[in-house]
Amino acid sequence: MNFFSSNFKLGILGGGQLGKMILYNTRKFDIYTCVLDPSNEAPSKIACNEFYQGNLMDYDTVVAFGRKVNTLTIEIENVNVDALETLEKEGVTVYPSSKTLRTIQNKAKQKLFYIDNNIPTAEFSRFAYTSEIREALNNGGLELPFVWKSAQFGYDGNGVKVIRQLNDLEGLPNVECITEKMIPFKNELAVIVARNADGEVKTFPVVEMEFHPEANQVEYVICPARIDETVAKKAQEVALQTSKAFNHVGLLAVEMFQTQDDHILVNEVAPRPHNSGHQTIEASYTSQFEQHLRAILNLPLGKTDSKVGGIMVNLVGAENYTGDVVYENIESIMKMDGVTPHIYGKKQTRPFRKMGHVTIVDKDINTARQIAEQVKNTIKVISK
């Protein structure tokens, strides 16, 4: 099929920043795009050929949108999977598949999938309702501390809470959930695997994630990860095993823990471009966004090596600021060597909302890390 400067249409469910960064590449290749998003101010709106406003969880809306395109992909997991299944039956190419998404959308199903496929993961218990956890604690079936995760619709910093004492459970929604044993880990790592329909597979280098202690959001993504080569190799192998088990087409970001004794445990996966791959735009031969396109269109996959060390800093709304966004001191960071800001196009800021990211590249990853710290301390996302 001819995708370039042709009648071929690519549909993207979700018009957030990930969609916008995919669209940098559809523009480069002159691929015609349609985007569906609930917000009329979605970041992707300026970069696609056709924009539709609508609810991604509504069956009829997603089916009607999917019928307009030849291939359908996502930039967010929370979409109507029954609609995707219908579209697949009607001959629309859908990646990731409805089957993959059905498993990944629910954290309990996702964890059971790892167990069934011998993929190493943290011990867990599943509960129909959060209220059942107290009983499990009372009868000794569960021990503090643990991590509570909502089974459905959780994302960075939402639907996840560390429970150290009983009253930490207060205020949590009474929903289907899992509890995970707290892992005393050395590092949080991630590997992005790309696979096309022909079965060609490539992995990006292992990245290391440094987290914000309060917001449970990634502060820095560091590539390459500052870890032993044998650990890196093990992380790559586990990521490949996970992708193969899903029989996944597109990108699969595999988030992992490196335990104190250097075991690798899968935390969770995302079947799309991911926060842990943003630095690839400046630091790699092929960005994760271009690679996602190559994979879902069954084109040859690009070279995944890094050209240079890269660090990504998330730009999130500062606390106590809500309203029209201002990027304070952005000129100051642009004076620094190897620094590139990416602004997502969200007009309104609020505390901890992802508003953009900054990539710092340098031949020496430790120099890049020092500059990243300067960037973090200089730029502020505030409101007028």
| CATH placement of domain 9-94 | 3.40.50.20
Assign 156 a pLDDT band (cuts: 50, 70, 90): low
Question: Please, which residues have CB within 8 angstroms of residue 49's CB and are 6 or more apart in sequence?
Answer: 32, 33, 34
pLDDT tens digits along 174-192: 999 999 999 889 999 999 9
As a whole number of angstroms, the distance between CA 280 and CA 299 comes to: 19
| DSSP secondary structure letters along 60-75 | HHHHHHHTT-SEEEES
Q: How confident is the model at residue 153 (pLDDT cuts 50, 70, 90)?
A: confident
Q: Is 180 marked within a binding site?
A: yes
For residue 213, the model assigns a pLDDT of: 72
pLDDT category of residue 92 using cuts at 50, 70 and 90: very high
Task: Compute the distance between CA of residue 54 and CA of residue 247 in angstroms, rounded to an integer.
Answer: 30
Reference 190, options 146, 150, 242; nearest CA is 242
Half-sphere exposure (Cβ direction) of 150: Cα atoms closer than 13 Å: 14
SS3 state of residue 274: coil
Per-residue pLDDT averaged across 255-281, rounded?
A: 97
How far are the Cα atoms of 28, 47, 274 from residue 289, in angstroms, in the given order? 12, 14, 9
343-353 pLDDT, tens digit each:
999 999 999 89
pLDDT over 90 at 155, yes or no: no
How confident is the model over 19-74, as pLDDT tens digits?
A: 999 999 999 999 999 999 999 999 999 999 999 999 999 999 999 999 999 999 99
Helices and strands: H and E segment counts in the chain: 11, 21
β-sheet bridge partners, residue 124: 180
d(CA 259, CA 183): 7
Say if residue 182 carries a ligand binding annotation. Answer: yes
Q: How far apart are CA 73 and CA 63, in angstroms?
A: 13
Residue 21, CB half-sphere, CA atoms under 13 Å: how many? 25
CA-CA-CA-CA dihedral for 202, 340, 35, 95, to nearest 10: 10
State the pTM of this model: 0.95
- What's the CATH class of domain 185-383? alpha beta
* Cβ-defined contacts of 156-164 (< 8 Å, 24+): 156/216, 156/217, 156/218, 156/275, 156/354, 157/215, 157/216, 157/217, 157/352, 160/216, 163/133
CB atoms under 10 Å from CB of 180, counted, come to 20
Sequence spans of domains, the chain: 9-94, 123-181, 185-383
* Residue 371 is labelled as binding a ligand: no
Residue 183 annotated as binding site: yes
- Predicted local confidence at residue 178, as pLDDT: 97
Per-residue tokens: 363: 């031949």
Four-way CATH pick for 123-181: 3.40.30.10, 3.30.1490.20, 3.30.70.2200, 3.40.190.10: 3.30.1490.20
Give the pLDDT band of residue 136 (cuts 50, 70, 90): very high
Q: Order of strands across the sheet with 71-74?
A: 50-53, 32-37, 9-13, 71-74, 93-94
CA distance 182 to 311: 27
Rounded mean pLDDT, 162-173: 92
205 compared with 215, residue with greater pLDDT: 205
- For 292, the enclosing helix (H) or strand (E) is helix 288-296
For residue 330, what are its two tokens?
A: 């952005």
- pLDDT tens digits, one per residue of 318-345: 999 999 999 999 999 999 999 999 999 9
Could you tell me whether strands 32-37 and 9-13 are parallel, antiparallel, or unpaired per DSSP bridges? parallel
The first and second tokens of residue 155, run together, are 């994302």
Model pLDDT for residues 113-125, shown as the tens digit of each residue: 999 999 999 999 9
- Strand 264-270 to strand 160-163: parallel, antiparallel, or no bridges (unpaired)? unpaired
Rounded to the nearest 10 degrees, how much is the dihedral formed by the CA atoms of 132, 137, 142, 144? Answer: 120
Supply the mean pLDDT for the chain.
Answer: 95
In this prediction, residue 157 has a pLDDT band, given cuts at 50, 70 and 90, of low
| Whole-number percent of the chain with pLDDT over 90 | 93
Residue with tokens 């991590």: 147
Q: Is there a binding annotation on residue 149?
A: yes
Q: With both helix axes pointing from N to C terminus, report the angle between 59-66 and 81-89 in degrees, rounded to the nearest 10.
A: 40
pLDDT reading at 216 higher than 70: no
Please determine, for residue 215, whether its predicted confidence score (pLDDT) is greater than 90. Answer: no
